[in-house]
A and B are shown apart, each in its own frame.
Chain A
Amino acid sequence: MSVGTWFRTDYDEPALPAGLPLTLSSGMNPAVTILDQMVRGNGIVGRVVGDFGAIALKIHGGGGPVRVAVSIGLDDVATRWWADRVRPSRLAAELPRLVAVRAQGRIHGGAVLARRQGWRGAASAEATLSFDLTAGEMRDDGLLLVEIAETAHPSWAAGRLCARSAIGLRINRIEVREQTAPTRTTGPSGATGCDFTVIQPGAPTAYRIVTAAVPSAPPLPLSPRNRVTRQKPARAVFKVARAARRAAVRALPSHPGAVEEVVAADLITGEPVPVETTRHDDETRVRLTGPVTRPVLLGSAKPQPTLSWRLTPVEPA
C-alpha cells in the first residue's frame, strides 16, 4: 500500500464535487479540497501566504477537454501581506509582480501585475489567464489543481520585479467549462501598468507597443515593527512621515520617454529569448524570432518604472 492510504480518519468529510460549468468565487465552496500555502476567502477564492500557493478543486465530469480561467488579483492588502512577510527596507518601492500559473503539473502561462497608482486613481490590478486542459488531464471525478508560482527572474530585470512575487496575491475567481474546440491560452490584453508584459504560449509573435505614462509607485505600507513605532502616540508621527514619503514620490514628475529597446526572457527559466525591436516614427514594434511555445516575459532594456505597456498584435512585416 502506498503512502496516503492512512491519511484518512473516520471523521474526515468527503469533498463535494462541483459540476460543470463552474464559476468559483468563494473559498468556502465545498468543492475546495486542498489548500497549499493559501487561506480561504469569502468573496474571493483565496490568498497566497507563501512563495507558492495552490488550490485543488474536486470537479465532476471534467474528464473531457475543459477551458479554465483563473483571475489573479493584487490589492492593497496583498502589498501589506508581502511587506509583513518579506520585511523590505523602509524606502522600498512597490514593484510589479510576475507569476506563472501552473495547473495539473504544467505551466500554462504567466502574468505581470502592477497596481494603478496616483492620488485619487489608485486601484487594484487583476489578470485573468484562460487556458485549455486536454481530455484526460483531469480525471472524471478528479481534482483540478491551480497554482500561482514564482518564476526565475532574468538578470536584466533584477531589482525591477518583486522578489517572492506570489505572497499576498489573491485568486479572485476560477471558471471551468467544457471546451468544444481547442483555443490558445489568453492573458490580459490591456495596459500592464509597468514596463513589462507577458506573451502567452501560442500567441502571435509581432506586436506594437502602446505606452502611457503612469505615476510612480510609493514605498510599501509597513506594519509597525519595533517597540517605538508600535506605540500609539509615536505611530502617528511615523504615519505622517510615511504619508510624506508617499506624497514625495507621487509628486515626482514622470517623463519616462519612449521605449528604446526591448528584451525578452523565458518566463519559467529566465533564459534569454531572441527578440527584434524596430522603431517606426513614434512607434516601437517587437518581433520574436521564433514561435512562442512557452510564456515569454518582455521588458524594456532600461528601467522605465513610470511607463505602462500595452501590446497590440500586428501582421509581421
Chain B
Amino acid sequence: MWLKADKQEWKQFRTAAEVFWQKNLPPADDDAVILVEAFHQDVRVTLRNLAVANAIRRIRPARLVVFTGVEEAWRRTLWKGFDVSLVRELATAYGAAETIDVWDIVRKSDRKPSFDVSAYVAATDARLAKLPALPERPAAERQRYGDGLAAFYEDQFRRNVVALVTSHVDYDQWGLAVEVARRRSVPVIHTQQTGCLKAYALFPEHDTGAGTFREELTRQIGDMFESRVWPRRDKLRPVTELIAWRAKVNLGRPSWWRGGTTASVDLNNPAERAVLRTHAAARFGLDPERPIVAVFNHAVSDALGTNRELFPTLADWFAGTAAWAAEHDSAQWLFLDHPSQALYDSTGFFGSVAKRHHGARHLIFQPSTALSKNALWSLTDLGVTVRGSVSNELPAYGIPVIQAGWSEWSSCGLSTVVDSTEGYFKTLDESIKAIQDGVTLITEEQVQRARLWLWLYRSGSDVVTPQVPQWEVWPANTLLKTMRATFRHIESDADPLFETVERMWTRREPMLTRTDLS
C-alpha cells in the first residue's frame, strides 16, 4: 500500500479502528465470508471497500476475507510503492479474519480454471503494456496468471460467500473475481473512487447474465433513473440547478475530472459564446461560421471490452472516426486527446493518427488541455465520444453528444447513443447537416435529464458518512486523523453508512443512495 503517513498516526488510527469495529460488529456464527479486494495502492480505495464490507457484516454477520498482493507488471506500470504488510495491518484493524496474498499463490500456480479467461488476459496485457489494441497473443506469463487467478477465485467462491466487495471490475485481478462471483450467484458491490461513499451493486436476481458487469449496470441504472429520479424532477429542480452551477465552475468535482483554473466556465448565453468562438476558432484556423465537431479520444487502453461498444477497441473508434472525418469537410473536426493519456498509451497512438491526417485543414488534433473549458464550450457544436464524461457534462448545458458505446449514464437519455457502426456514421452525417440547417439537436428534456444525472451522480448516490471522508480529504496524515476522530468520538448509531448499505442490501438496489428514493 502506498501510504505517506507518520508511523505514529498510522498506529493510532489502527488502534482506534480496531476497537471501533470490535464493538460495532456482531460475531459471525457460521462459516459465511465476505470477500474484499485490496489490490489498489491508494488507501482511500481500500478504506471504501472495507467500510462497505463491514456495513454488510452488521446485517449479515460473516468473516472478512481480504485479497491483496501485487504483481510485477502492475507495480512497474502503476503502483510503485505497494506494501502488502501495510494492507494486512489495515485489514486486521477492520476485523479481517484472513488476508490472502493472492499474487503470492498465483505466481506459483499452474492451474487451469473451468472457463475461458482470454478476454480478461488480453485487456490486462493491453493496459499494462499501455497498448491501444488488444494483443493477438498475450504473453504466456499473463495467460498463466489469468488462469491461476481464475482457478484461485473458483476455489474461494466455493465457500459460503455473502458478497464480493471490489473497487474495480476490469482486468485480471478484479475482473476475474467479478466473473466468478456472477457465475456463483454472489452479489457484487462495486465501490467508486470519488466523492464520499459511492457504490454500485449487481445482485444475482437482477443479473440477466447476458452482458458484462458494466452492461448489466448501465441497464439497471437507466431503469432506476427512469422510475425513481425522473418523476422527481420538479421537486429536485432547485438543487439540480445549484449542482449544474457548481459543476460549471468546477465545484463538487469528481476526483477524475479536469481541475485547475481553465476548467471553470463563465459563459452564460449564445452571445457570449459567439464572441469567444471567433477568437478560439482563429487560434486553430477554423471558420466560426461552420459547424465544429469535437471528438474526445479516450484513455486508449482503459478497460477494453468491458461495456458495449460499436468498435472492437477505443483506438479503432478514434482512427475510424478520423478517417471518416477526413472525407467529410462539411464540418470542421477538433480531435482532442485525453489529459491522462501518458498513463494509458506508450505507443504515441494519438500522434500517429494526427500524422496520418497531416495536411487535412479541416481536422485539428490537440491535447484537450490546450483549450480552456470556456473555449471548448464555445467551439463545440457537437461532441462525440464512446464513454467519456463529456457525454454527461455537455448535454447538461445544451451541447448535443453522440456516444459510440455505453457508459454508466448512457441509458438515462442524455445523449444520442447509437447501436451500430453504420448507424454511427449516419447519425454523424445527419447531425452535421442539421447543424448547418440550424436545427437544434438536443431537447430541453435531455438537458434536464443531464442535470438530473449530475445530481444523481454527485449528490443522490453519494453517501455522506464520517466513516468515509470525502476523496479530497488528503494527504494521508489528514485522512487518518479525521478517521481516528470518527472512530473515537462519533457514536455509530444511525450512521448513514449502515443505514444506506442496509437499504441497498435489503431492497437489492443497483446503487447506494443518500436518501430513500422509493
Contact of B283 among A3, A5, A11, A52 (CB under 8 A): A52
Q: Is there a chain B Cβ closer than 8 Å to A9's Cβ?
A: yes
Q: Is there a chain A Cβ closer than 8 Å to B248's Cβ?
A: yes
Say whether B375 contacts A37, CB under 8 Å: yes
Q: Is there a chain B Cβ closer than 8 Å to A6's Cβ?
A: yes
Say whether B266 contacts A33, CB under 8 Å: yes
Q: Is there a chain A Cβ closer than 8 Å to B272's Cβ?
A: yes
Say whether A8 contacts B268, CB under 8 Å: yes
- Which of B36-44, B177-185, B273-281 is near enough to bind chain A? B273-281
Q: What 0/1 readout, one digit per residue, does chain B (250-294) give for beta carbons within 8 Å of chain A?
A: 000000000001100111111111111011101100000000000
Q: Give the distance in Å from the alpha carbon of A49 to the alpha carbon of B375 in the complex.
A: 14
Q: Which residues of A contact B275 (CB under 8 A)?
A: 34, 56, 104, 142-143, 145
Say whether B262 contacts A56, CB under 8 Å: no
Say whether A4 contacts B245, CB under 8 Å: no
Q: Give the distance in Å from the alpha carbon of A10 to the alpha carbon of B268 in the complex.
A: 11
Known contacts A35-B266, A50-B370, A54-B276; decide if A3 and B261 are in contact (CB<8 Å).
Answer: no
Q: Which residues of A contact B246 (CB under 8 A)?
A: 11
Q: What 0/1 readout, one digit per residue, does chain B (370-393) give for beta carbons within 8 Å of chain A?
A: 101011010011000000000000
Q: Which residues of A contact B397 (CB under 8 A)?
A: 6-7
Q: Give the distance in Å from the alpha carbon of A33 to the alpha carbon of B264 in the complex.
A: 12
Min distance, Cβ A82 to any Cβ of chain B, angstroms:
16
Known contacts A35-B266, A37-B375, A49-B261; decide if A56 and B272 are in contact (CB<8 Å).
Answer: yes
Q: Give the distance in Å from the alpha carbon of A5 to the alpha carbon of B242 in the complex.
A: 17
Say whether B279 contacts A3, CB under 8 Å: no
Known contacts A50-B372, A56-B272; decide if A37 and B262 are in contact (CB<8 Å).
Answer: yes
Q: Which residues of B contact A52 (CB under 8 A)?
A: 279, 283
Q: Is there a chain A Cβ closer than 8 Å to B9's Cβ?
A: no
**B443: nearest chain-A partner, CB-CB:** A1
Q: Give the distance in Å from the alpha carbon of A143 to the alpha carbon of B271 in the complex.
A: 9
Say whether B262 contacts A4, CB under 8 Å: no
CB-CB contacts below 8 Å: A15-51 with B:
15, 33-39, 49-51
Q: Which residues of B contact A5 (CB under 8 A)?
A: 269-270, 398
Q: Is there a chain B Cβ closer than 8 Å to A180's Cβ?
A: no
Known contacts A34-B276, A147-B279; decide if A11 and B242 are in contact (CB<8 Å).
Answer: yes
Say whether B370 contacts A51, CB under 8 Å: yes
Min distance, Cβ A143 to any Cβ of chain B, angstroms:
5
Say whether A105 contacts B242, CB under 8 Å: no
Q: Give the distance in Å from the alpha carbon of A52 to the alpha carbon of B282 in the complex.
A: 11
Min distance, Cβ B286 to any Cβ of chain A, angstroms:
13
User: Which of A9, A15, A37 is the most central at the interface, judged by chain B CB atoms within 10 Å of its CB?
Assistant: A9
List 8 A-B pairs, minimum CB-CB distance, nearest first.
A6-B398, A4-B270, A11-B245, A4-B273, A10-B241, A105-B278, A9-B245, A34-B266
Min distance, Cβ B500 to any Cβ of chain A, angstroms:
28
Min distance, Cβ A309 to any Cβ of chain B, angstroms:
29
**A13: nearest chain-B partner, CB-CB:** B268
Q: Is there a chain A Cβ closer than 8 Å to B418's Cβ?
A: no
Q: Is there a chain B Cβ closer than 8 Å to A315's Cβ?
A: no
Main secondary structure of the interface of A (DSSP, over half): loop
Q: Supply 9 A–B pairs (Cβ within 8 Å), ascending by A.
A: A2-B440, A5-B269, A6-B447, A7-B269, A14-B268, A34-B272, A54-B276, A54-B279, A145-B275
Q: Give the distance in Å from the alpha carbon of A50 to the alpha carbon of B242 in the complex.
A: 30
Q: Is there a chain A Cβ closer than 8 Å to B238's Cβ?
A: yes
**B435: nearest chain-A partner, CB-CB:** A3
The chain B residues found within 8 Å of chain A, CB to CB, are: 238, 241-242, 244-246, 248, 261-262, 265-276, 278-280, 282-283, 370, 372, 374-375, 377, 380-381, 396-399, 438, 440, 444, 447
Say whether B245 contacts A49, CB under 8 Å: no
Say whether A39 contacts B273, CB under 8 Å: no
**A149: nearest chain-B partner, CB-CB:** B283
Residue total for A at the interface (Cβ-Cβ under 8 A):
35
Q: What 0/1 readout, one digit per residue, does chain A (140-179) give for beta carbons within 8 Å of chain B?
A: 0011010101000000000000000000000000000000
Q: Give the distance in Å from the alpha carbon of A293 to the alpha carbon of B10 in the complex.
A: 69
Q: Is there a chain B Cβ closer than 8 Å to A102's Cβ?
A: yes
Say whether B268 contacts A145, CB under 8 Å: no
**A103: nearest chain-B partner, CB-CB:** B279
Q: Give the distance in Å from the alpha carbon of A15 to the alpha carbon of B269 in the complex.
A: 12
Q: Which residues of B contact A143 (CB under 8 A)?
A: 271-272, 275
Say whether A7 contacts B447, CB under 8 Å: no
Q: Which residues of A contact B370 (CB under 8 A)?
A: 50-51
Contact of A12 among B268, B399, B447 (CB under 8 A): B268
Q: Which residues of B contact A15 (CB under 8 A)?
A: 268
Say whether B398 contacts A35, CB under 8 Å: no
Say whether B268 contacts A7, CB under 8 Å: yes
CB-CB contacts below 8 Å: A264-287 with B:
none
Say whether A7 contacts B279, CB under 8 Å: no
User: Which of B270, B272, B398 is the most central at the interface, judged by chain A CB atoms within 10 Å of its CB?
Assistant: B272
CB-CB contacts below 8 Å: A250-269 with B:
none
Min distance, Cβ B384 to any Cβ of chain A, angstroms:
15
Min distance, Cβ B234 to any Cβ of chain A, angstroms:
14
Say whether B375 contacts A10, CB under 8 Å: no
Min distance, Cβ B3 to any Cβ of chain A, angstroms:
18
Min distance, Cβ A100 to any Cβ of chain B, angstroms:
10
**B241: nearest chain-A partner, CB-CB:** A10
Min distance, Cβ B432 to any Cβ of chain A, angstroms:
14
Q: Give the distance in Å from the alpha carbon of A34 to the alpha carbon of B279 in the complex.
A: 12
Q: What 0/1 readout, one digit per residue, does chain A (42-77) give for beta carbons within 8 Å of chain B?
A: 000000011110101000000000000000000000
CB-CB contacts below 8 Å: A110-149 with B:
142-143, 145, 147, 149
**A56: nearest chain-B partner, CB-CB:** B275
Q: Give the distance in Å from the alpha carbon of A9 to the alpha carbon of B267 in the complex.
A: 11
Say whether A10 contacts B266, CB under 8 Å: no
Q: Which residues of A contact B276 (CB under 8 A)?
A: 34, 36, 54, 56, 145
Say whether A145 contacts B279, CB under 8 Å: yes
Min distance, Cβ A126 to any Cβ of chain B, angstroms:
23
**A11: nearest chain-B partner, CB-CB:** B245
Q: Which residues of B contact A12 (CB under 8 A)?
A: 245, 248, 268
Q: Which residues of B contact A102 (CB under 8 A)?
A: 279, 282
**A32: nearest chain-B partner, CB-CB:** B266
Q: Give the distance in Å from the alpha carbon of A149 to the alpha carbon of B282 in the complex.
A: 10
**B400: nearest chain-A partner, CB-CB:** A3
Min distance, Cβ B339 to any Cβ of chain A, angstroms:
14
Q: Give the distance in Å from the alpha carbon of A36 to the alpha carbon of B379 in the complex.
A: 13
Contact of A4 among B261, B398, B447 (CB under 8 A): B398
Q: Give the distance in Å from the alpha carbon of A38 to the alpha carbon of B283 in the complex.
A: 16
Say whether B381 contacts A3, CB under 8 Å: yes
